[in-house]
């Protein structure tokens, strides 16, 4: 663990190939590392630095800018309760407070069994469903306190297979087959697209 | 009111997100049509439509497209799907329920402008949206709508799904480009004012919002003129608004620009359906957390860019947040300021230091440690971030994020100063005064 | 910014009500500064791209659409612009920003190294109230943390101006420090366990506008107001300009001086922290002689003892008098000032009458090659769109500030760099083209490049690369930066390449000389066959050197020849002028034998090094911080070297030692001060360059010597057939690394720990095909010569090359070098036993 596995590395290379500049793949690769280990380890950052040819400090610089990347071991389920303005108006603070009591931890902490990490987060674009939350980035709308407790129970008793472990974002990945890919021109070469040329729109 | 549904027509369809469902409901016909036109002609249609950008700034898309310098290749399309402005909720539904419409919009745009690659940047937290887009892209690639020789024409373009990872500032277009290049999402310096000339990888780049691009297929299919006939003179077409907060029926609604008013949206039966519990309206945010607040007297204003701009706020990202008379204004204000403080990228001193200072003072007031001079201090700090505290904001910062934190404070203090005073009158602050001993 | 080549069109703009003029396209903060109005700033730095982060430089600007606050570091001046740096709006905004910057700053100025020279502190004092409006808790970080061996970072003091991080990334390409975290939590830091290992790290201390970055060698040593400073030149091949700062006759710091033409204020760590060496307690304080210290050196004696100057001088004179001129020889002097070089040349050639004088250790190209080439300047090389052909080694390792300048030219000015180096270098990632010719075959490769015709492969370079290079050079004015690619390569192949290049009209050259003042030494005649003023020994003009009574007629020996003769017992007196052949010469065995066989070895040096340790008479010399004089860099640029402190003990300037030996020989060298040298050169009318010591001292950019006029270029034999390369062997490349076991580095505590174990690197494919296991020592074989060393795989090394750094710890790789061939091919034997 920790460095990218063979399989992750294959996915990583697929992703890298889609960008004219390798470094563009950095954020997707950090997600990949987080999917593999549940958090982003120093070893993974080092490995990513190696494969895209930048320094580990640069990887860390980017990684640490974005909230979703956890650089310490994280709970298997990241509970993000929205405290954006719309949810705030409809009781987000109480819901967070309730969550703290139910889980026995404060915002920003992980339960001792390593199952839940709790956070109050900024607006998650479900404002009309306030108060809302995400568990491992899966939405739960208009959450009441009892619903919250029910969710926690379901997860503890492993009844929520619809919610993958922390780190897995999209369960569906983009695949581009070799036959269908358009490919791209090097950024160093100024070549006008054929369809413009044919339309006489470039000299 | 019978508003034509331009961007949300498939939201009710169970299979609207699948290729079959999309094609069944008229999908990819606009692409066919576009390929029959010359790229220039397609661009003309969009210009005629006067489509305003839906990401916040409301800049006409057709005009922005015209800023691309000639004969510099390659050029890119970057789709801004980072939707994070508090109160804003529309792009995510467009991604989840009608991904092909967006894809079709992207394809047409690339065709029209000779863009050789499209990056579809979806906010990191939107796992489901990413899945739907990935699925749609996979289907569309297989079926020959995306990739090499689209619909057997010479037109080829890849659409690459890219993920964010949690940072509101990345919604700002130059920060979005930085992020897409694998960097920290810190806005670039202007000029150039638009990435159209120097953008992704230093190449000409068009950045458009998801909703903006979702309009493109309709425009190409029905013509720019038809689009321009809908809505108001300066604000054409329809717009998706999320109405949230203290209303009876929070929801996301596509309405016609200009003919609809805030009152319709907040009070109208088919929309917000009035303030909850029969309470009174205290204030509402007309266009996302950055926008200065509106009040009762603004309710009859039409949803139209020029009118709202003139009244000192903005339609911004189409987010209407309603606060009723039970709202603790100081806490609401703190909530919004905390958002900007947490989301500041940290590049500019006034934003990095100023927004968190504002937040700390508000928190202190709420905690009962406010001092009589704090309101003046708050306003003076605001003035140092956004000199003159006016709208549109002047700024000592690079991007408008810092100045955005000023909106809630100035709105709240101007209208509901007594609520701050109430906190202050109950305060017993115990704060030692620090002397700048060191300097010298 | 990179504005060496400014647009010269002028624009007029209004500054605080007055009309002023500036160059079009210049940024506003600079234009205002030119006009005498200083705008406060923190993130802006004239040698880096603007980021506009601190916002301190915000001023009211009206470009016709009404006044607006704009960061002046980000704005170009335009015609008719109206700028108000004093308006109430400007002042209010600037005061507000300063307050923001100070919010979380600890204000611990009394204990801060920067206190007294801190822009933030200065601004704060200028700005009003002594009471802060910020009553909340400040941001806390662990107090200073080391980010490498010499630099500490105090994140509480940091104002996030992005200077150090931009420097690391943009200026030197070592992005090992970075912004971490976001918003109000942002900090500068390294990756865990991955220090800021940059050769240029000291620069970030110099440019930090607050006391967040401090240098260990200077921490708590002095307060800025106790410092005195003087502008001088660091004696390295580029002649980097510096200020020497001292307190109570002790040098505490070298800072880079922002010279437009040379180093732009940057320095390598090697030079910056080397001030420690010159103050080292190991400096030689008084003359030393072998044996009892009585009148005659005792070759058989083991130890060196202190002696009086008189004794040492007498012994030296006697040794000279007991010999004949052609049995007396001088090696070294390339580290001296120009003036000292003249004095020693005069002593050797004019007085003693020997031409056996060689400032180099036969590892630079001979004087009649170097002096015959027209030189280019660093600014010419680093100009927009220039075409640069680099033949040689890694500038990052050996010529640090040129590396920085060239990097800037390529990334910011669109200069085209074509690199012909044996292995990947610090500039490879930005070069337009990188070719990897095998050392020894550069002549063939250049021949093909120029003609555009090539077999499938030549000298390790493919036909395609040759053609690509040919096209890039076509019809271009070429700036050639050249040096040997490896010390295992003889000087002949490079001379061949230069012979070919010289014939292309407009081509100019910048030699990568190995030692500090090689150009000065050659100009002053410290080479066999040369006289001062670039005159060949047999030039007509020699008659003007009127008091050079004993000028020899025969061309003397080079270092190679001197050491060989000495080894054969044919040299009586050998002078080592600041040179250390035992450690520095390619054949240590020969050097050792030479020192043993020579009757009297006289050394002039700062330290006892391996060679001085074997000498018989040692004169303590003054270091460059202790003398006045001048230095000639590789462009031919003469800049002043100035005394800041007094020498330890009885150490004397090098020229004075020459004069005293002359006096002991009953002659007057007629040099009593450095000025006399230039007066004498002028009086003798031997040089085309009008140079006086006064001019040198008073011209900020220095005076440029024109090379390529007096001494004709010696063309090489162009019969470029080299022996075939045998695919079973590896061509040996030995290069210099910035940090090695050289004396100055080892005498500087801040630098001495950066050497590594000697090892040899080869391409991973070769590595696996030979079948070596990691870490296992193998035997490298060159004919009779064998060493046992660890070989490692490294992707930067092309196939069939074996690469190593010289003068590291452990095995001495020079043991593989044999004389007399253009290049050296070795065999790697994985099975052989350790010898
Ligand atoms: C702080 C900040 C955040 C922004 N966030 C978003 C966003 O989440 N989505 C978006 O489309 N535009 C956002 N914008 C606006 C973009 O910069 C840009 O104007 C827009 O994407 C252009 O697309 P449009 O012309 O189609 O509206 C933001 C701007 C700022 C200053
Ligand atoms: S205003 Fe704030 S968010 Fe915008 S660039 Fe400056 S620091 Fe970053
Ligand atoms: S100096 Fe201009 S913003 Fe810092």
Interface mutation vs chain C, best among B398, B438, B440, most C CBs within 10 Å? B438
Q: Which of B401-405, C13-17, C219-223 bottoms out in mean pLDDT, i.e. has the lowest?
A: C219-223
Looking at chain B, the number of H-run helices and the number of E-run strands are 18, 8
DSSP structure class, residue B293: P
Percent of chain C scored above 90 by pLDDT?
A: 84
pLDDT at C511 over 50: yes
Classified as helix, coil or strand, C757 is strand
Architecture of domain B238-321: Roll (3.10)
The whole-number pLDDT of residue B231 equals 94
The minimal CB distance from A58 to the residues C178, C181, C192 is found for C178
Minimum CA distance residue for ligand 1 atom 23: B208
Select from B175, B337, B350, B351 the residue to mutate for testing ligand 2; criterion: most ligand atoms less than 8 Å from CB: B351
SS3 sequence of C480-513: EEECCCCCCCCHHHHHHHHHHHHCCCCCEEEECC
Start-end of CATH 3.40.50.11540 domains in chain B: 19-229
For the domain spanning C369-511, the CATH number is 3.40.228.10
Answer whether B129's CB lies under 8 Å from B96's CB. yes
Mean pLDDT, residues B5-16? 96
Q: Which CATH number fits domain A77-156: 3.10.450.50, 2.40.50.100, 3.40.605.10, 3.40.30.10?
A: 3.40.30.10
Cβ contact C364:C370 at 8 Å: yes
Subunit contact B438:C69, Cβ cutoff 8 A: no
pLDDT at B257 over 60: yes
CATH class of the structural domain A6-71+173-180: mainly alpha
Per-residue pLDDT, A203:
61
pLDDT in tens, C673-724: 999 999 999 998 887 778 888 999 888 889 999 998 888 898 988 887 666 7
Q: How far apart are CA B361 and CA B354, in angstroms?
A: 11
Ligand 3 and C42: CB distance under 6 A: yes
Q: Which range has highest mean pLDDT (C216-230, C639-653, C772-786)?
A: C639-653
Is C215 strand, coil or helix?
strand
Are the Cβ atoms of C55 and B352 closer than 8 angstroms? no
Q: Give the whole-angstrom CA distance, residue B285 versus residue B296.
A: 11
DSSP C647: P
- What is the average pLDDT across B77-104? 97
Domain B19-229 is of which CATH architecture?
3-Layer(aba) Sandwich (3.40)
What is the number of alpha carbons within 13 Å of residue A57 lying toward its C-beta?
21
Name the interface residues of C facing A (CB cutoff 8 Å).
174-182, 189-194
What fold, for C288-364+517-687? Rossmann fold (3.40.50)
Number of Cβ within a 10 Å radius of residue C453: 13
Q: In this predicted structure, what is the pLDDT of residue C5? A: 47
- Place C314 in a pLDDT band, splitting at 50, 70 and 90: very high
Minimum CA–CA partner of C160 in chain B: B347
Fold category of B329-425 in CATH: de novo design (two linked rop proteins) (1.20.1440)
- Nearest chain B residue to A179 by CA: give it: B148
**Rounded to whole angstroms, how far apart are CA atoms C153 and C146?**
6
**DSSP 3-state of C577:** strand
Given a contact cutoff of 8 angstroms between Cβ atoms, the answer to whether A134 and A122 are in contact is: no
Q: How far apart are CA C94 and CA C90, in angstroms?
A: 6
Cβ <8 Å between C107 and B345? no
Instruction: Assess whether the previous peptide bond of A131 is cis (omega < 30° from 0).
Output: yes
Q: How does pLDDT run along chain A (203 residues), one tens digit per residue? A: 589 999 999 999 999 999 999 999 999 999 999 999 999 999 999 999 999 999 999 999 999 999 999 999 999 999 999 999 999 999 999 999 999 999 999 999 999 999 999 999 999 999 999 999 999 999 999 999 999 999 999 999 999 999 999 999 999 999 999 999 999 988 988 899 999 988 888 76
Give φ, ψ of C303 to 5 degrees. Answer: -100, 165
pLDDT, average across residues B114-135: 97
Residue-level pLDDT at C565: 98
CA separation for the pair A132, A122 (Å, rounded): 11
The domain at C730-829 falls in which architecture? Beta Barrel (2.40)
- Chain A, 13 to 72: residues with Cβ < 8 Å from chain C are 42, 45-46, 54-61, 64-66
* Chain C contact present for A144, CB below 8 A: no
The encoded tokens of residue B182 equal: 């694998």
pLDDT band at C622 (very low <50, low <70, confident <90, very high): very high
Q: pLDDT category, B436, cuts 50, 70, 90?
A: very low
Angle at which helix C654-664 crosses helix C338-345, to 10 degrees, equals 20
Instruction: Compute the nearest-CA separation of A36 from chain C (Å).
Output: 21
Tokens, residue B372: 């009589």
The candidate with the shortest Cα–Cα distance to C240, out of C204, C205, C203, is C203
Q: What is the mean pLDDT of residues C10-32?
A: 95
pLDDT score of C31 more than 60: yes
| DSSP 8-class letter at A29 | H
Residue linked to tokens 């036993």: C833
pLDDT digits (tens, 9 = 90+) for C178-200: 999 999 999 999 999 999 999 99
Relative to beta strand C759-762, strand C785-793 is: parallel
Cβ of C192 within 8 Å of Cβ of A59? The answer is: no
Q: What is the pLDDT of residues C434-493, one digit of tens each?
A: 999 999 999 999 999 999 999 999 999 999 999 999 999 999 999 999 999 898 998 999
Q: Which residues pair with C420 in a beta bridge?
A: C391, C435
* pLDDT(C494) > 70: yes
Q: What is the DSSP letter of C327?
A: G
Q: How confident is the model at residue C18 (pLDDT cuts 50, 70, 90)?
A: very high
Nearest Cα neighbor of C256 from C449, C444, C400, C426 is C400
DSSP state string for B137-188 = HHHHHHTTSSBSSGGGSS--BEEEEEE--S-GGGGSHHHHHHHHTTS---PP
CB contact under 8 A, B349 and C58: no
Output the CA torsion B228→B233→B236→B237 (10° steps): -80
- Please write the tens of the pLDDT for every residue from C356-377: 999 999 999 999 999 999 999 9
Q: Where are the domains of chain A?
A: 6-71+173-180, 77-156
Taking the C-alpha atoms of residue C200 and residue C271, their distance in angstroms, rounded to an integer, is 10
For chain C, the structural domain boundaries read 3-101, 288-364+517-687, 369-511, 730-829
Burial class (CB in 10 A: 0-12, 13-18, 19+), C142: exposed
Interface test with B, best of A79, A83, A89 (most B CBs within 10 A): A89
Report the C-alpha dihedral over residues C739, C745, C748, C752, rounded to 10 degrees: 40
**pLDDT tier for residue C127 given thresholds of 50, 70 and 90:** low
CB–CB contact A57 C178 (8 Å): yes
Residue at token pair 């024109």: C706
Please report where in the chains the tokens 């159209």 appear, as a residue: B196
pLDDT digits (tens, 9 = 90+) for C571-584: 999 999 999 999 99
- Supply the pLDDT for residue B432: 62
Question: Does B141 sit within 8 Å of A176, measured CB to CB?
Answer: yes
How does DSSP assign C663-715, residue by residue? Answer: HHTT-----SSHHHHHHHHHHHT--SS---HHHHHH-TT-EEPPPSSSSPP-P
Tell me the average pLDDT of chain B. 95
ipTM: 0.96
To test the pocket of ligand 3, the residue of C42, C93, C101 to mutate (highest count of ligand atoms within 8 Å of its CB) is: C42
Q: What are phi and psi of A122, to 5 degrees?
A: -75, 170
Question: What tokens were used for C541?
Answer: 């003009």
Shortest Cα distance, chain B CAs vs residue A157, angstroms = 23
Query: Distances in Å between the alpha carbon of C576 and those of A17, C135, C603?
Result: 59, 67, 5
Q: What is the pLDDT confidence band of residue B439, given thresholds at 50, 70 and 90?
A: very low
As given in the structure block, the two tokens for residue B133 are 């887009």
Q: Give this prediction's pTM.
A: 0.95
Where are the domain boundaries for CATH 1.20.1440.230 in chain B? 329-425
Tell whether the model's pLDDT for residue C809 goes beyond 80. Answer: yes
For the C3-101 domain, the top CATH level (class) is alpha beta
Which residue in the block uniquely carries the two structure tokens 């400014």? C6
Q: Is the pLDDT of residue C1 over 60?
A: no
pLDDT score of C6 more than 90: no
The pLDDT of C400-415, averaged and rounded, is: 97
Write down the residue that tokens 């801040």 correspond to: C750
pLDDT at residue C3 greater than cutoff 50: no
Residue of C559, C575, C564 lying closest to C325 (CA atoms): C575
pLDDT per residue as tens digits for the range B162-198: 999 999 999 999 999 999 999 999 999 887 778 999 9
Pocket test of ligand 2: the residue of B189, B398, B403 to mutate, having most ligand atoms within 8 Å of its CB, is: B398
* Cβ contacts of C99 on chain B, cutoff 8 Å: 384
* Number of helices followed by number of strands (H, E) in chain A: 8, 4
Neighbours of chain C (3+ CB pairs under 8 A): A, B
The arithmetic mean of pLDDT across residues B73-86, rounded, is 97
Task: Give percent of chain C with pLDDT exceeding 70.
Answer: 97
Measured on CA atoms in the order B405, B408, B411, B415, is the torsion positive or negative?
Answer: negative
Q: How far apart are CA C171 and CA C191, in angstroms?
A: 20
Q: Report, in this order, helix, strand and coil percent for chain A, each rounded to 5.
A: 40, 10, 50
| Distance in angstroms (rounded) separating the CA atoms of residues A55 and A34 | 19
């Amino acid at each position: 663990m920790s460095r990218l596995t063979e399989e992750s590395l294959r996915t990583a290379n697929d992703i890298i190939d889609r960008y004219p500049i390798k470094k563009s793949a950095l954020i997707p690769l950090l997600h990949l590392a987080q999917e593999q280990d549940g958090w982003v380890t120093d070893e993974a950052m080092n490995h990513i630095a190696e494969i895209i040819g930048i320094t580990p400090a640069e990887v860390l610089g980017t990684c640490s800018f974005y909230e979703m990347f956890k650089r310490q071991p994280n709970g298997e389920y990241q509970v993000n309760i929205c405290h954006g303005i719309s949810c705030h108006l409809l009781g987000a603070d109480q819901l967070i407070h309730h969550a703290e009591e139910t889980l026995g931890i404060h915002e920003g902490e992980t339960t001792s069994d390593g199952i839940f990490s709790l956070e109050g987060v900024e607006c998650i674009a479900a404002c009309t469903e306030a108060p809302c939350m995400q568990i491992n980035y899966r939405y739960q709308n208009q959450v009441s306190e009892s619903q919250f407790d029910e969710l926690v129970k379901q997860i503890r008793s492993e009844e929520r297979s619809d919610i993958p472990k922390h780190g897995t974002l999209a369960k569906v990945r983009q695949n581009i087959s070799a036959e269908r890919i358009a490919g791209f021109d090097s950024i160093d070469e100024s070549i006008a697209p054929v369809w413009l040329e044919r339309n006489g729109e470039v000299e | 009111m019978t508003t034509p549904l331009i961007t949300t027509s498939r939201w009710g369809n169970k299979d609207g997100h699948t290729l079959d469902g999309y094609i069944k409901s008229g999908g990819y016909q606009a692409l066919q049509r576009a390929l029959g036109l010359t790229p220039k002609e397609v661009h003309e249609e969009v210009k005629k439509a006067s489509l305003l950008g839906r990401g916040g700034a409301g800049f006409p898309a057709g005009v922005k497209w015209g800023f691309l310098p000639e004969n510099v290749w390659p050029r890119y399309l970057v789709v801004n799907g980072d939707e994070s402005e508090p109160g804003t909720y529309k792009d995510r539904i467009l991604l989840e329920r009608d991904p092909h419409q967006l894809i079709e919009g992207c394809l047409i745009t690339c065709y029209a402008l000779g863009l050789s690659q499209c990056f579809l940047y979806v906010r990191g937290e939107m796992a489901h949206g990413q899945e739907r887009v990935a699925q749609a892209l996979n289907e569309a690639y297989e079926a020959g709508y995306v990739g090499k020789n689209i619909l057997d024409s010479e037109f080829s373009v890849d659409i690459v799904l890219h993920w964010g990872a949690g940072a509101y500032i990345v919604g700002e277009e130059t920060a979005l480009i930085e992020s897409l290049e694998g960097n920290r999402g810190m806005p670039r310096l202007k000029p150039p004012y638009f990435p159209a000339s120097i953008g992704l990888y230093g190449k000409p780049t068009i950045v458009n919002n998801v909703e903006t691009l979702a309009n493109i297929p309709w425009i190409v299919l029905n013509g720019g003129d038809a689009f321009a006939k809908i809505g108001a003179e300066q604000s054409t077409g329809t717009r998706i608004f999320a109405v949230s907060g203290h209303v009876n029926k929070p929801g996301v609604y596509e309405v016609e620009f200009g003919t609809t008013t805030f009152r319709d949206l907040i009070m109208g039966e088919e929309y917000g359906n009035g303030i909850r519990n029969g309470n009174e309206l205290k204030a509402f945010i007309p266009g996302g957390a950055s926008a200065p607040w509106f009040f009762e007297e603004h309710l009859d204003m039409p949803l139209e860019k020029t009118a709202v701009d003139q009244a000192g706020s903005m339609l911004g990202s189409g987010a209407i947040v309603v606060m009723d008379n039970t709202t603790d204004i100081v806490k609401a204000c703190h909530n919004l300021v905390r958002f900007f403080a947490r989301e500041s990228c940290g590049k500019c001193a006034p934003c990095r230091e100023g927004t968190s200072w504002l937040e700390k003072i508000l928190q202190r007031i709420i905690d009962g440690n406010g001092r009589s001079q704090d309101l003046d201090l708050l306003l003076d700090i605001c003035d140092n971030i956004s000199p003159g505290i006016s709208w549109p904001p002047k700024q000592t910062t690079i991007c408008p994020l810092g100045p955005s934190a000023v909106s809630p404070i100035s709105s709240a203090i101007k209208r509901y100063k007594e609520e701050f005073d109430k906190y202050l009158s109950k305060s017993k602050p115990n704060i030692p005064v620090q002397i700048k001993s060191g300097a010298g | 910014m990179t504005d060496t080549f400014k647009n010269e069109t002028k624009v007029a703009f209004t500054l605080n009500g007055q009309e002023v003029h500036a160059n079009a396209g210049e940024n506003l903060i600079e234009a205002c500064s030119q006009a005498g109005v200083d705008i406060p700033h923190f993130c802006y730095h004239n040698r880096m791209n603007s980021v506009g982060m601190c916002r301190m430089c915000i001023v009211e600007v009206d470009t016709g659409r009404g006044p607006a606050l704009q960061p002046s570091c980000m704005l170009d001046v335009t015609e008719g612009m109206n700028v108000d740096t004093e308006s109430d709006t400007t002042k209010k905004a600037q005061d507000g920003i300063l307050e923001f910057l100070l919010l979380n700053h600890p204000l611990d100025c009394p204990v801060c190294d920067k206190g007294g020279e801190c822009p933030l502190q200065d601004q704060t004092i200028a700005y009003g109230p002594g009471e802060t409006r910020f009553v909340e808790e400040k941001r806390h970080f662990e107090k200073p943390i080391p980010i490498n061996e010499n630099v500490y970072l105090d994140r509480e003091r940091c104002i996030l101006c992005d200077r150090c991080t931009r420097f690391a990334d943009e200026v030197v390409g070592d992005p090992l420090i970075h912004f971490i975290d976001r918003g109000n939590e942002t900090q500068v830091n390294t990756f865990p366990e991955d220090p800021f290992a940059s050769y240029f790290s000291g620069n970030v201390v110099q440019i930090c506008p607050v006391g967040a970055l401090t240098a260990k060698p200077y921490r708590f040593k002095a307060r800025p107001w106790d410092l005195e400073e003087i502008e001088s030149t660091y004696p390295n091949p580029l002649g980097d300009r510096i200020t020497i700062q001292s307190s109570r006759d002790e040098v505490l710091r070298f800072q880079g001086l922002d010279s437009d033409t040379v180093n732009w204020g940057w320095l390598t760590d090697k030079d910056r922290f080397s001030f420690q060496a010159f103050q080292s307690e190991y400096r030689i304080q008084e003359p030393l002689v072998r044996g009892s210290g009585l009148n005659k050196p005792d070759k058989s004696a083991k130890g060196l003892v202190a002696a009086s100057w008189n004794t040492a001088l007498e012994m030296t004179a006697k040794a000279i008098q007991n010999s004949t001129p052609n049995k007396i020889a001088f090696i070294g002097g390339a580290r001296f000032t120009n003036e000292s070089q003249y004095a020693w040349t005069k002593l050797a050639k004019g007085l003693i009458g020997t031409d056996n004088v060689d400032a180099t250790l036969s590892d630079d190209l001979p004087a009649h090659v170097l002096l015959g080439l027209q030189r280019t300047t660093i600014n010419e090389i680093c100009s927009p769109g220039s075409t640069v052909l680099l033949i040689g080694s890694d500038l990052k390792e050996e010529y640090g500030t040129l590396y920085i300048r060239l990097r800037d030219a390529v990334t910011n000015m669109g200069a085209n760099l074509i690199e012909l180096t044996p292995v990947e270098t610090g500039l490879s990632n930005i070069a337009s083209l990188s070719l990897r010719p095998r050392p020894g075959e550069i002549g063939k490769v250049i021949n093909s490049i120029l003609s555009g015709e090539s077999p499938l492969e030549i000298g390790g370079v493919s036909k395609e690369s040759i053609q690509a290079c040919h096209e890039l050079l076509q019809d271009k004015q070429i700036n050639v930066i050249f040096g040997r690619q490896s010390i295992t390569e003889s000087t002949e192949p490079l001379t061949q390449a230069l012979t070919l290049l010289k014939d292309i009209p407009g081509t100019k050259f910048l030699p990568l000389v190995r030692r500090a003042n090689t150009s000065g030494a050659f100009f002053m005649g410290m080479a066999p066959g040369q006289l001062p003023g670039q005159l060949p020994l047999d030039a007509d003009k020699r008659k003007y050197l009127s008091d050079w009574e004993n000028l020899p007629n025969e061309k003397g020996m080079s270092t190679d020849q001197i050491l060989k003769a000495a080894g054969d017992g044919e040299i009586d007196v050998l002078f080592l002028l600041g040179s250390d052949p035992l450690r520095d010469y390619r054949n240590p065995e020969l050097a050792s034998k030479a020192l043993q066989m020579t009757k009297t070895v006289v050394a002039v040096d700062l330290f006892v090094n391996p060679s001085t340790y074997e000498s018989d008479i040692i004169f303590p010399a003054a270091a460059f911080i202790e003398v006045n004089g001048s230095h000639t860099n590789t462009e031919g640029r003469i800049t002043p070297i100035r005394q800041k402190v007094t020498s330890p003990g009885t150490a004397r300037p090098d020229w004075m030692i020459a004069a005293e030996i002359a006096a002991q020989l009953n002659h007057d060298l007629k040099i009593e001060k450095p000025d006399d040298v230039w007066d004498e050169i002028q009086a003798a009318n031997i040089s085309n360059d009008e140079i006086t010591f006064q001019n040198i001292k008073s011209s900020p950019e220095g005076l440029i010597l024109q090379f390529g006029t007096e001494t004709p270029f010696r063309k090489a034999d162009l019969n470029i057939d080299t022996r075939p390369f045998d695919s079973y062997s590896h061509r040996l490349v030995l290069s210099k690394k910035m940090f090695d076991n050289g004396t100055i580095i080892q005498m500087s505590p801040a630098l001495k720990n950066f050497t590594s174990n000697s090892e040899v690197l080869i391409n991973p494919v070769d590595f696996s095909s030979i079948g070596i296991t990691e870490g296992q020592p193998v035997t490298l074989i060159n004919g009779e010569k064998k060493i046992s060393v660890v070989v490692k795989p490294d992707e930067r090394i092309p196939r069939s090359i074996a690469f190593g750094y010289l003068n590291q710890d452990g095995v001495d790789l020079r043991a593989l070098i044999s004389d007399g061939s253009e290049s050296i091919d070795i065999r790697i034997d994985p099975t052989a036993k350790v010898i």
